[in-house]
Chains A and B, each alone.
Chain A
Amino acid sequence: MSSNAERTTPRLKSDSVKISGFAKALRTYSLQIGIVFVAIFIWFLFLLGSPRTFLAGNIYVSFMSTTPFFALIALPLTLIIIIGEMDLSFPSTMALGMMAFDVVFVGTGSVILGFIACLVAGAVVGYLNGIIVVKIGIPSLVATIGTQFLWRGVVMVVTNGQGLGMTKVQDTFLYPLFVGRIGGVVPAQFAWTIAVGIALWILLNRTRFGAHVYLTGDNIESARLMGVNVNRTKILSFTIVGVAAAFAGFVVSEEVLFFWPTLGDGYMMNTLAAVFLGGTSAYGGTGTIFGTFVACFIIGAINAGIVAAGLTGFWTSVIYGLIIVISVSLQAMLNKRIK
């Protein structure tokens, strides 16, 4: 009897250690686990609501094709929100990058040079956002509303409101590289979104720059006192978003084979909704790339779900607005409870 008791005690102990380890992991990754459950829940909802749409494979190929357009921006935008800033200029940056492509492509006839010009333009615009926010000291929310209008205006003036056919791009390797279909099914932009997500995850979680993004967003004064170069960290983050927005603009234009000077309009809401739904705090200091990644596809599914459910497209704006308000409110309430 007694030996029996002795034998069971250590086993109980190791069990409890295991459970506490499990509970700890649960607490650490609660937001990520939460967002996955939200995704599954919404998927079930749509599956029940319109099984014909959501049981077909087409809808998922369509997700993988269109969600990357804003996911490619939402992923790096997560960095800006974590750092405690905001960037509202990315829709115009998408168009400005393509304007640079337009000018260089028409001038030189080279698609490659045009693509490089597109990325460089995005980097310059992002860098300028950073400089205005950090060096001149204007709140990023206001500064990027300004640059949003500025760059859209520049695009309209330079292109004279005229679009550009992109069929020439189809002949270059850039077309299959960015918007081809892998194995004839999976859109290449989906693979690129995963690649960008992994690269940003490593940048945010495994480099000093990423550590400084979290620290700056959490307590900028502490970061400064402890020698973190907060200005450089912010400027670099804005630059990354600029490049990503220009790249996304290129991918969108390639997919539809036309550059509209209004490119980027309609991307503001779903991009921001994805970042906030993904659990990134509007107060800065916390947030994950994984959360944003999953949230992007929830947002993409909601768009399809609304149409499949027979509601008019006008509803999407209502739903996205609600998602932003509710997820930000939830974070505020959680924040208060922890304090």
Chain B
Amino acid sequence: MDYFLQMKNVSKTFGEVSALHDVNFEIGTNEIVGLLGDNGAGKSTMVKIMTGYHHPDPGGELYVKGKKSNHLTVPEARKQGIEIVYQERALADKQSLWRNIFLGRELSNKWGFLDIKKMRGETLKLMDTVMGFTSSAITPDSAVKTFSGGERQGVAITRALYFMAELIILDEPTMGLSLSETKKCLDFVNQIKCEGKSCIFIDHNIFHVYPICDRIVVLDRGTIAGQYMKDELTLPELIDKLYLVAHTGSLTDKNGCAEDAGKDGGNT
């Protein structure tokens, strides 16, 4: 099977705290995966490993486009086309919009100096086409701290989109967004699917996750408790399972679940 990214036996411990334990996970090309789990289940840690921010404990393996990646760094992951929109947005508040769009990837000319004119111009274009900022109060030079929650999210998403990502990871993107802003965000995920790209969508709200996903992965206390293709189960069934996981920590004592989990586990 053709996977964009694959994790094999990945564990991650911080001091004495085990955040992830022996996780096997994969995401195919042009697949939308919903990652569900309670607070502290290890969702953020897992995606931070995929973006090269954290490194897995020895023994864990990471494959990007079928090639083993021994020491993935943030710039390396980006080169491979992995982009993330962080829960905390990862913006620099006092800096201008264009500096935030190009954060860590500033464009420079052949002399090594910043190409500010180009970065401003690109930002202006993106504001029009992608972000939908119509207010005349916002310019590429506006400081990001003056923006609303939705606008800030728009900046973070636009940044991921601009750099031609192949896998876009959204870490709780709807947190703190208004209804219409949430809708815009979900539309964006559909757009990723249409463009043939992959997406990992993390959210607490399964009503957001379920409609747009191809597959749902449930993470619990650092391990994968189960994964389902969307057409295998209905939304109420999924809710039942999530309750069960939250209370017992496993899905195996419910009919059918162990089979599903086993089947998908065998694929890896």
Mark A residues whose CB is within 8 Å of B: 24, 28, 202, 205-208, 210-212, 214-215, 218-219, 221-228, 285-286, 338-339
Contact = CB atoms under 8 A, between A and B. Distances in A.
B88 A211 contact: no
Contacts of A222: 88-92, 103
B210 interface: no
B108 A208 contact: yes
B114 interface: yes
Majority DSSP secondary structure for residues of B touching A: loop
B90 A225 contact: yes
B94 A286 contact: yes
Given A206-B113, A208-B108, A218-B95, 11 more contacts: A24-B139, A24-B141, A208-B106, A219-B93, A221-B88, A222-B91, A223-B104, A225-B53, A228-B103, A285-B92, A285-B94
Interface in B179-208: none
B247 to A, nearest CB: 34
Contacts, number: 75
Contacts of B91: 219, 222
Interface string B102-142: 01111010001110100000000000000000000001010
Contact of A225 (B86, B93, B108, B113): B86
A227 B95 CA distance: 17
Contacts of A286: 94
Interface of B: 53, 73-75, 78, 84, 86, 88-95, 99, 103-106, 108, 112-114, 116, 139, 141, 145
Given A208-B108, A338-B145, A223 B103 contact: yes
Nearest to B75: A227
B47 to A, nearest CB: 11
A302 B80 CA distance: 57
Contacts of B93: 218-219, 285
B113 A226 contact: no
Residue among A207, A222, A224, A226 facing the most chain B CB atoms (10 A cut-off): A226
A227 B78 contact: yes
A280 to B, nearest CB: 12
A28 B94 CA distance: 12
Contacts of B95: 214-215, 218, 285
